Amino acid sequence: MTSSAKICTNGATSNGLKKRLHFCSDFDRSIVINTFLRHGWKEVSPEGDWNIYWSNTLNCRNLFMENRHRLQDNQLINHFPNHHELVRKDLLVKNFNRYRKELERNNHPLAEKIQVRDPSGRTVTRYLYLDFIPTTYILPTDYNLFLEEYRKSPQTTWILKPCGKSQGAGIILINKLSQLKKWSRESKKYLQHQLTSKDTYVISRYIDNPLLIGGKKFDLRIYVLVTSYRPLKAYMFRNGFCRFCSMKYDKSLTELDNVYVHLTNVSVQKHGEEYNESHGGKLGIQNLKLYLQGTRGSDVTKRLFEDIQWLIVHSLKAVAPVMLNDRHCFECYGYDIIIDTDLKPWLIEVNASPSMVGTTENDRILKNRLVDNILSVVLPPNGIPDARWNKTPSSDALGDFDVLIDEDLIYKDNIAQLARETGQGPMRK
Amino acid sequence: MADGVSPLVWKEEREISFMSKCHKAMKEKGLDTKLRNTVFHWVRTQNKQSKLDPLTSLTKASVQWEKRIHKSLNSMCSDLETSLAKFRFQSELEELAEKWNELSTYNLDLSKYRPVYAPKDFLEVLITLSGYVPFTKEDEPKWEFAHLPLQVKTLDQLRKIYIEWSNGEPLLGVSPNMPSQVNDFPTLEAERIGLGERVAALGYAPVIQEYLKRGSPQCLRAKLWAQVLGAEVSAQQISYFNQLKRSVLEVDLMIDKLIFKDVQLTASNDDQYFVFEDLLYQVMLCFSRDCEVMQQLRGSTGTPLTVAIKGRQTSADSVTVFPPSGIIPFHGFTMYATPFCYLYDDPVQLYFMFRAFYLRYWHRLHYISTHPQGIVSLCLLYERLLESNEPLLWIHFRNINVNPGHLPPEQLLLLWDSILGYDCLEILPLLSLAILSFRKENIFQVNTLQNVDAVLADLSTISVIPLLQLALMKP
Ligand SMILES: Nc1ncnc2c1ncn2[C@@H]1O[C@H](COP(=O)(O)OP(=O)(O)O)[C@@H](O)[C@H]1O
Ligand SMILES: [Mg+2]
């Protein structure tokens, strides 16, 4: 960057967030902008001398690719340059599979495998601690592998998702091979072998036994803030929520293409007849916890929430080696997680730009707090962005974030103890 | 006698040994706990007021209030050209039966139905109980209930009842993460879970009641609450519930619409309870058909209507008490059931807990009587507490009945622990006082009643138990 970024301080105040910073945002109606303005910060253009840029993923990638800017120490941006390694559905699976293979090659205790019986009575081999992404194949590349798996248990339902889309768009449920063949004929996708990400799909085992409350399916939206990949520093926001379907869950074939039964995206549900604007289908995660403790007991509930943390940490570790760990970057991910009837969490996908629009009053309050807390974690105590800072926020600065992992702290603590602990990770057998 | 043992003594010894054997056998089979619990629950249901209310002014008000409700029910019926009770057509019955588990999809036009009354209406009746207004200067508190010759407790007396709280004993609702005072447990919460599990296994209601005083962990509540109220579910309860369901399906009562409306107005739009909507329809509808409710409350509630059920040849069974439970729901009635949704996902268990709680406690808030746990006494208690502890803080007690919907479920559950533990409702006026004192600064800053209401309306950030314990501990 040619002109160095400017910072106007209000002199007297010592509180970090009182500094008058410059920000830039690619989003119009967003809680992010409101929060920045509430702090008294000034909006500038992407070419301006911003201190914090809340960009969309495309602009962020361009900014790093074009390399026309060298970011200054006092500039932060809200994405890592190659975040797609985590958030694109096919790449997440690729990276995660590679991570497990590597651990296995090194005879790491985390890569332990066991034999289990699947619902059809077939004996299958599973990772003991790292089995939390539903079996997934990338199409068209893995089509033959998929066929092989399909034939082994033909009664499984699969979910087909385009890698280049989001918000539930283009998703179909499949329980007969003919449906997939028909789809591929129509879209001519796998015949043409044009491997752009737009034409890439994933097909995953459909979790057909989701935990239901009031008879309805839901998934969790959990916010995870990463401030560094090497060392890994990640924080989980305490106030995630459940996103409920507006219609009762129904496994029957006739409802297989009913998105209001199967897809929990708010962007899908809000078009439904049963959608309710005052709650938006969102139940706070603390209330989910209360409900599970009350109806299922505290041990299984505690276990579930530990498993969720475990899942997040290992999804991040899986991509950490390939991430460009630029010190100007932080990223707040929206994790989509489904809990099944055995209270086992499954990672569905990770989003790099989770919606920052409040759908209800409480949603607005929650997201305001989220952005506030993100800022206080990524800014050093003096409130001025500093890429050279060691990124170790005080416990006060965490707000509603809990530390998921901070490898700086861990290494300082005791490496030997870590080895012991990860050897007996919390995932169930 | 030569051998020195008289036959009498011998007989006695034999009896004693028989008794102790008996006792032992019962213990082994868990029968003694059952027997003792039965006695406990029986005794608790017997101390009802059966004699007439000694205060004629109250009796009169209570009768008038009931008349008013019946009148408004009847006029709503004639306005809407419907009847209070009618048999459902077969098609309607079938549709309702089919949708029993998702009644939110049962389409009803409710636009013309209005709640019969709201808590505020009832409060107004209470305020104008005898038309007696003490002479006061403009800017002085007007104590509304002071003239009623009822005995209520002072704060000091409450301190003696809530002795654990006023002694500053560690409460789960105050600091679950504080270090435990008992060895082997890292935190108070762990200690309470450990103790609670033993208490639950013992299953003896008075012990459970004692335990609840200091708060139950959420994971044990479902069990402990059912045990302390004797509301456990067995085959008998299940078949009784199905009977209630049957009568919902067969007969269309006008208040069914009011129930639907109330669930819609309270739970369906609330982001803490919307997921439980379908459960609540079932529970609230069945409750209205439950004639055991009326039987158990006989004497402490009024005299319900009796109406003919339209639509079939008149026969003996086509007359019904309206509603069979004798309880006409008001706006917000469903909120007495909503917190249980965080404990029970089975409608039958949810139903019997809700019913037991209503029968023991909540009905007292809706009938004008002189009972020490009744709404009038609680209002008076509130007023006296305010007068002697916050004399400067005057407010028309709009908030005697803290609207439960405004507290988050976790807080409500903790509050209800204490109602069960101390088996009384005096905690409610005390809470109102505590909230008022807590928000005192803000209240003094606003001057219209509306603004005062606004200051008090948002209770979402309040931790009730610490507030209450603070109020009970000596300064
Ligand atoms: N494997 C699965 N099993 C069950 N439900 C799934 C699965 N994958 C996706 N879903 C449902 O579909 C929704 C959308 O899928 P997702 O992978 O998040 O794609 P999108 O990017 O369109 O949001 C999820 O929120 C979830 O409700
Ligand atoms: Mg998604």
pLDDT at A331 over 60: yes
Residue A300 half-sphere exposure toward CB, CA atoms < 13 A = 16
Is ligand 1 within 6 A of the CB of residue A336?
yes
Band of pLDDT at residue A164, cut at 50, 70 and 90: confident
Band of pLDDT at residue A409, cut at 50, 70 and 90: confident
Poorest-pLDDT segment among A138-147, A193-202, A242-251, A271-280: A193-202
pLDDT at A269 over 50: yes
Mean pLDDT within B89-97: 94
Is-contact A374 A398, C-beta < 8 A? no
Nearest-by-CA chain B residue for A285: B272
Give the closest-approach CA distance of A168 to chain B in angstroms: 22
Is-contact A302 B218, C-beta < 8 A? no
In a domain, A341, yes or no: no
B335-369: string of b/e by CB count within 10 Å (b at 16+)?
A: bbbbbbbbbbbebbbbbbbbbbbbbbbbbbbbbbb
Q: Tell me the three state secondary structure of residue A402.
A: strand
- Listed in sequence order, the residues at least 6 apart from B361 whose beta carbon sits closer than 8 Å to its beta carbon are B373, B419, B425
Q: Assess whether the previous peptide bond of A321 is cis (omega < 30° from 0).
A: no
Mean pLDDT within A169-193: 77
Geometric angle at alpha carbon B102, from B98 and B107, rounded to 5°: 80
Report the residue count for chain B: 475
In a domain, B185, yes or no: no
In a domain, B319, yes or no: yes
> How is residue B25 written in tokens?
């056998």
In a domain, B153, yes or no: no
pLDDT score for B317: 62
* Number of domains making up chain B: 1
Poorest-pLDDT segment among A64-68, A322-326, B322-326: A64-68
Mean pLDDT within A29-39: 90
pLDDT score for B446: 64
Best residue among A348, A349, A350, A351 to mutate for probing ligand 1, ranked by most atoms within 8 Å of CB: A348
More confident residue, B198 or B311: B198
The dihedrals phi and psi of B307, each to the nearest 5 degrees, come to -130, 155
Mean pLDDT within B408-416: 92
Q: Assess whether the previous peptide bond of A140 is cis (omega < 30° from 0).
A: yes
Q: What is the pLDDT of residues B361-391, one digit of tens each?
A: 999 888 888 888 888 888 888 888 887 777 6
* Domain around B416: 56-145+233-472
pLDDT at B130 over 80: no
- What CATH number should be reported for the domain holding residue A157? 3.30.1490.20
More confident residue, B221 or B447: B221
> How is residue B323 written in tokens?
């509603």
Geometric angle at alpha carbon A267, from A338 and B406, rounded to 5°: 75
In a domain, B177, yes or no: no
Query: To probe the interface with B, which of A217, A279, A300 has the most B CB atoms within 10 Å?
Result: A279
Interchain proximity B274–A279, CB inside 8 Å: yes
pLDDT at A419 over 60: no
pLDDT score for B136: 47
Is ligand 1 within 6 A of the CB of residue A207?
yes
pLDDT score for B474: 74
* Number of domains making up chain A: 1
Of B101, B271, B413, the CB nearest to A283: B271
pLDDT score for A13: 41
Q: Residue A172 and residue A160: Cα distance in Å, rounded? A: 5
Mean pLDDT within A407-412: 81
- Which residue intervals of A209-277 are DSSP H helices? 259-262, 266-269
Band of pLDDT at residue B141, cut at 50, 70 and 90: very low
Q: What is the pLDDT of residues B160-178, one digit of tens each?
A: 999 999 999 999 999 999 9
B409 at interface of A, judged by CB pairs closer than 8 A: yes
Residue with tokens 């059966």: B50
Mean pLDDT within A33-48: 92
* Domain around A186: 135-206
pLDDT score for B134: 45
> How is residue A16 written in tokens?
């970090």
Query: H helices then E strands: how many in chain A?
Result: 14, 18
Band of pLDDT at residue A208, cut at 50, 70 and 90: very high
A123, containing H or E segment: strand A123-127
In a domain, A149, yes or no: yes
Query: To probe the interface with B, which of A239, A266, A287 has the most B CB atoms within 10 Å?
Result: A287
In a domain, A181, yes or no: yes
Poorest-pLDDT segment among A336-350, B145-159, B350-364: B145-159
Query: To probe the interface with B, which of A290, A341, A362, A364 has the most B CB atoms within 10 Å?
Result: A290
Count of CB atoms within 10 A of residue A121's CB?
A: 7
Q: Residue A236 and residue A370: Cα distance in Å, rounded? A: 10
Band of pLDDT at residue B82, cut at 50, 70 and 90: confident
Poorest-pLDDT segment among A19-33, B263-277, B391-405, B452-466: B391-405
pLDDT score for B437: 81
Mean pLDDT within B100-124: 88
pLDDT at B428 over 60: yes
pLDDT at A49 over 80: yes
Nearest CA to ligand 1 atom 9: A348
Q: Residue B213 and residue B427: Cα distance in Å, rounded? A: 12
pLDDT score for A5: 46
User: What is the full DSSP assignment across A76-105?
Assistant: EESS-TTTHHHHSHHHHHHHHHHHHHHHHH
- Listed in sequence order, the residues at least 6 apart from B401 whose beta carbon sits closer than 8 Å to its beta carbon are B119, B123, B365, B375, B428
DSSP A6: P
CB-based neighbours (< 5 A) of ligand 2, an ion:
A 336
Is ligand 1 within 6 A of the CB of residue A87?
no
Geometric angle at alpha carbon B244, from B240 and B246, rounded to 5°: 110
In a domain, A175, yes or no: yes
Is ligand 1 within 6 A of the CB of residue A331?
no
Geometric angle at alpha carbon A12, from A6 and A18, rounded to 5°: 60
Query: Chain A to chain B, count of Cβ pairs less than 8 Å apart?
Result: 72
A284, containing H or E segment: strand A282-284
Band of pLDDT at residue A2, cut at 50, 70 and 90: very low
A295 at interface of B, judged by CB pairs closer than 8 A: yes
Residue with tokens 């066991």: A114
In angstroms, how far is CA A83 from the centroid of its own chain? Answer: 11
Contacts of A297 in chain B (CB under 8 A): 219
Q: Tell me the three state secondary structure of residue A254.
A: helix
Mean pLDDT within B285-307: 87
Residue whose C-alpha is closest to residue B469's, from B132, B167, B221: B167
In a domain, B440, yes or no: yes
- Listed in sequence order, the residues at least 6 apart from B38 whose beta carbon sits closer than 8 Å to its beta carbon are B230
A325 at interface of B, judged by CB pairs closer than 8 A: no
Is ligand 1 within 6 A of the CB of residue A167?
yes
Question: What is the ipTM, given to two decimal places?
Answer: 0.88
Q: Residue B320 and residue B305: Cα distance in Å, rounded? A: 8
The mean pLDDT of chain B is 83
Of A214, A279, A295, the CB nearest to B269: A279
Residue with tokens 């009562």: B253
Strand order in the sheet with A42-43: A42-43, A22-25, A52-54, A76-77
Percent of chain A at pLDDT above 90? 71
The dihedrals phi and psi of B89, each to the nearest 5 degrees, come to -65, 155
Mean pLDDT within A121-144: 92
Determine the atom of ligand 1 nearest the C-alpha atom of A210: 4
In a domain, B111, yes or no: yes
